[in-house]
Structure 1
Amino acid sequence: MLKFQETVKHVSGSAPISTCSETLIARRYVLQQKLGRGSFGTVYLVSDKKGKQGEELKVLKEISVGDLKPNETVEANLEAQLLSKLNHPAIVKFYSSFVERESFCIITEYCEGRDLDCKIQEYKESGKIFTENEIIEWFIQLLLGVNYMHERRILHRDLKTKNIFLKNNLLKIGDFGVSRLLMGSCDLATTFIGTPYYMSPEALKHQGYNTKSDIWSLGCILYEMCCMDHAFTGHNFLSIVLKIVEGNTPTLPDRYPSKLNTVLHSMLNKNPSLRPSAAEILKIPYIDEQLENVKCKFTNVALKDKTFNCQKEAAHIINAVHFESYSNLPDQCFLLHVLICKIDELVNNLYVTFVCRSAIQKLGAEVFEKVYHYLKKAREQNASEDEIQECLEKVVSRASDCFEVDQLLYFEEQLHALAEDAPVHNVQIENPFLAG
């Protein structure tokens, strides 16, 4: 097989698939055209020879990993496999990843509507604005996606309009985890890639990054959808940073409901502990009412048009993402289910190990043990986030440094769930980490 970089030379920015139909990447992906270049590498449109009907087109992101150590590449692959398990209509599907010579390749869902930043610029140039209904629907879709991630102890770390994609006029969050894959536990705030328009005050002040930092970024995106401009602007990097850290909170134009403006202000509170979580925002009466309207709209559309391209996504949004149960699997699917359970258990087990190691390196063994046992008990007792943060700050200088421990506990829960499910199918699953 040709080296990836050599293969790419045969494909121009708009080369048709026929010009390289014999050239495969990883024995299944045919390069069609170059879509662009981002901070982490080059993006290509590819055709998947083994893809399901109607899902052949995918996106391949080629990232140079020449500087990564072998163990870092393994960890990146493990995290990529975990990201591929995420299944939500407001999140770009992460199919797989692999190393092709000196490139780390990520395969994701293709969104034909480009990114939200392109959409905003297109509207600005033509003097148009999004309707209030469009903004509310999109905002709720993003909230559902962010809530789904945060429930699974996953941070995005780089939410911005360039990382929000459109497919069938639905918004999908993409490119999350990429910064984590390439920078380990390093906060995105320490890299200062590009402009800081969406970065939270605490990230800019190097005070850590947690779920509330993602909420800040989502607030900036909401403002931009409403006003067609950034929430915090300036002539240079420093002036933007000063406005974010010390400036006044921006307000929406009068054409928008005051209740939406109140939600925005809560998301852009400079104190992260005072910002609501995605789950709390979804429970705000005004947002909850809008959520019901969105459900009704998608239900009606799906009923009227059986061939509607978004029918599957609509069903997911209506149900706020329900997962199918394996309890009534037919006999012919039994062995496949057992195999999937075992693979999931192995992947989660490996991830638990390296997250544990990373947390111990960051906190030290003694502090890690204290934080681990406290968080485990606090989660079992459903303690409030404020209470948890207050207690953690008595043990560590920054509560956000304990996020990996929280993530570790979540994956341990997943392993327990697999272990409880396995005996039903007579599968013995052992977890060496939990056994200790």
Structure 2
Amino acid sequence: MLRFQEIVNHGPSFTPISTCSKALIAGRYTVQQKLGRGSFGTVYLVKDKKAKDEEQLKVLKETSVGDLKPDETVEANLEALLLSRLDHPAIVKFFTSFVEGESFCIITEYCEGRDLDFNIQEYKEAGKVFPESQIIEWFIQLLLGVNYMHERRILHRDLKAKNIFLKNNFLKIGDFGVSRLLMGSCDLATTFTGTPFYMSPEALQHQGYDTKSDIWSLGCILYEMCCLEHAFTGHNFLSVVLKIVEDDAPSLPDSYPRKLNTVLHSMLSKDPAMRPSAAEILRSSYIDGQLQNMKCKFTNMIKEDQVLNSQKEAAHIITAMQKKVHLQTLRALSEVQKMTPRERMRLRKLNIADEKAKKLKQLAEEKYQENLKRMQELRSRNFHQVNIDVLHESDQPISEHLITSQPVTSLDYLSVGCKKQADSETPGRLCMSDPMEHDLRTLASMKQACSLRSKTSIH
């Protein structure tokens, strides 16, 4: 259950939502249990009837409209406005706001891990400490959320362990009830508000409040996560204030990295101008290195989840296909059972005929491929192109004997184009066809004539 110390006194005319928990609120929400009280009202766990199963549980924050002062009403509306503009994993998600009877209601994300203060006290009582890697991850998540707010000129002004919630072991900043939107970069909020353990020296001395005050509060939270106790403690409010304003910043135990302790001291500097912004801390070498490690870790986790999801999807598809095939088989069997004996006999004969036709088709295809392969082998072995160099230049006349006596290795008469010779010819000898022989003789004569002409012209 969430831990709240602030108490809101409602007037007698106010009817809280808890009295009508059986009825639907805004036509969709039913109260499950009361979680506690916050700065501006009561907090309930509700069930959203119109949401998906995994998103049905939400938080309803109720504020009495009639009992609020005008400036408090503005604060409540401002919270709804701010939350509606924020969309970040490290910030509690805002869904909607509405007025129900005498109550102004805000619906936000439900964080099942309770608040950070509850977890710190639980670890302290059990004598345990948070692992260093866990503290670094949480601290970076808070830095990212605070930087997101400050980039939009939004102050939280009440950062503390009770306003930070856990969901699936991720930290989320919540309770923007005292936030303020800065209208200019030099605008300073002067309202004295917040929890003293986390308040900055300038806020306590009424010197104004800006983004650097949120950095101070974040430094106090970092120290508390490491040491399980407040950075500045005292017996009463005044002693706490004096330590914050006058004492030096505490140091982390030696078991923590020195660079992390340096970051803490910079955040708890008395001079706001000396404190780094959230963006500057994220860009520092130590924090940036830890951030890159986190990215690698979560990237691998996402990849593993994607592989697991794909395997599950594949299993679903295979199961569905098996069911479909099984249903088709059952359907076919049922159709067969409805047939008469003669129809079943005819169906069997048709199936046998189909099988025979399929086998014959396969056999014919195999024979065709075999014959085709054999024909190609014969052609490649017995057919070679005639290699006669009739264009070779020479001063000597080319004799018919040289032309016609070139060896030809082809035995395929039909491929070359020769007619069948007489029975007296020796089998296996190739006979050139008359047209081809005539062409070769003509070429030889022409080349010889050209050679004689060239000699005559020289003389």
Give the shorter-chain TM-score range. 0.5 to 0.7
Q: Secondary structure at the match of 1:32?
A: strand
Counterparts of 2:166 and 2:160 in 1: how far apart (Å)? 13
Counterparts of 1:35 and 1:186 in 2: how far apart (Å)? 34
Query: Residue 25 and residue 187 in structure 1: after superposition, are their counterparts in 2 closer, same or farther (change >3 A)?
Result: farther
2:192 to 170, 179, 190: 190
> In the TM superposition, what whole-angstrom CA distance separates every residue of 1:367-412 from its partner, at most 9, and x where no partner exists?
xxxxxxxxxxxxxxxxxxxxxxxxxxxxxxxxxxxxxxxxxxxxxx
1:8 to 9, 18, 21: 18
TM superposition shift of 1:212: 0.3
- Note if contact 2:158-2:179 (Cα within 8 Å) is conserved in structure 1: no
Q: Secondary structure at the match of 2:149?
A: helix
TM superposition shift of 1:140: 0.3
Query: Residue 70 and residue 207 in structure 1: after superposition, are their counterparts in 2 closer, same or farther (change >3 A)?
Result: closer
- Note if contact 1:179-1:188 (Cα within 8 Å) is conserved in structure 2: no
Counterparts of 1:52 and 1:63 in 2: how far apart (Å)? 27
Supply the AA of the counterpart residue of 1:87: D
TM superposition shift of 1:84: 1.2
Counterparts of 2:219 and 2:16 in 1: how far apart (Å)? 42
Supply the AA of the counterpart residue of 2:19: K
- Note if contact 1:302-1:308 (Cα within 8 Å) is conserved in structure 2: no
* Segment of structure 1 superposing worse, 82-91 or 128-137: 82-91
What does 1:316-395 correspond to in 2, within 5 Å? none
1:289 corresponds to which residue? 289
Counterparts of 1:196 and 1:161 in 2: how far apart (Å)? 12
TM superposition shift of 1:307: 9.4
Supply the AA of the counterpart residue of 1:295: K
What does 1:1-150 correspond to in 2, within 5 Å? 5=15, 7-11=17-21, 20=22, 23-68=23-68, 73=73, 76-77=76-77, 80-150=80-150
Relative CO higher for 1 or 2, CA cutoff 8 Å, sep ≥ 6? 1
Query: Residue 103 and residue 118 in structure 1: after superposition, are their counterparts in 2 closer, same or farther (change >3 A)?
Result: same
Counterparts of 1:78 and 1:254 in 2: how far apart (Å)? 43
- Note if contact 1:159-1:217 (Cα within 8 Å) is conserved in structure 2: yes
TM superposition shift of 1:65: 2.9
What does 1:170-181 correspond to in 2, within 5 Å? 170-176=170-176, 178-180=177-179
Gaps of 5+ in 2: 1-12, 181-186, 310-459
1:225 corresponds to which residue? 225
Counterparts of 2:127 and 2:286 in 1: how far apart (Å)? 29
Q: Secondary structure at the match of 1:108?
A: strand
TM superposition shift of 1:103: 2.1
- Note if contact 2:75-2:178 (Cα within 8 Å) is conserved in structure 1: no
Q: Secondary structure at the match of 1:190?
A: coil
Query: Residue 230 and residue 254 in structure 1: after superposition, are their counterparts in 2 closer, same or farther (change >3 A)?
Result: same
1:238 corresponds to which residue? 238
Q: Secondary structure at the match of 1:129?
A: coil
Query: How many residues are paired up?
Result: 293
What does 1:408-427 correspond to in 2, within 5 Å? none
> In the TM superposition, what whole-angstrom CA distance separates every residue of 1:73-131 from its partner, at most 9, and x where no partner exists?
47743652342121110000011222223322111100000000000011001100001
1:167 corresponds to which residue? 167
- Note if contact 2:35-2:45 (Cα within 8 Å) is conserved in structure 1: yes
TM superposition shift of 1:200: 0.4
Counterparts of 1:47 and 1:35 in 2: how far apart (Å)? 13
2:304 corresponds to which residue? 304
TM superposition shift of 1:9: 2.0
Q: Secondary structure at the match of 1:44?
A: strand
Counterparts of 1:188 and 1:157 in 2: how far apart (Å)? 11
TM superposition shift of 1:152: 0.6
1:382 corresponds to which residue? none
* Segment of structure 1 superposing worse, 285-294 or 29-38: 29-38
**Rg comparison, structure with higher value:** 2
- Note if contact 2:33-2:45 (Cα within 8 Å) is conserved in structure 1: yes
- Note if contact 1:117-1:162 (Cα within 8 Å) is conserved in structure 2: yes
Supply the AA of the counterpart residue of 2:192: T
Counterparts of 1:189 and 1:78 in 2: how far apart (Å)? 15
- Note if contact 1:81-1:97 (Cα within 8 Å) is conserved in structure 2: no
Query: Residue 115 and residue 71 in structure 1: after superposition, are their counterparts in 2 closer, same or farther (change >3 A)?
Result: closer
2:158 corresponds to which residue? 158
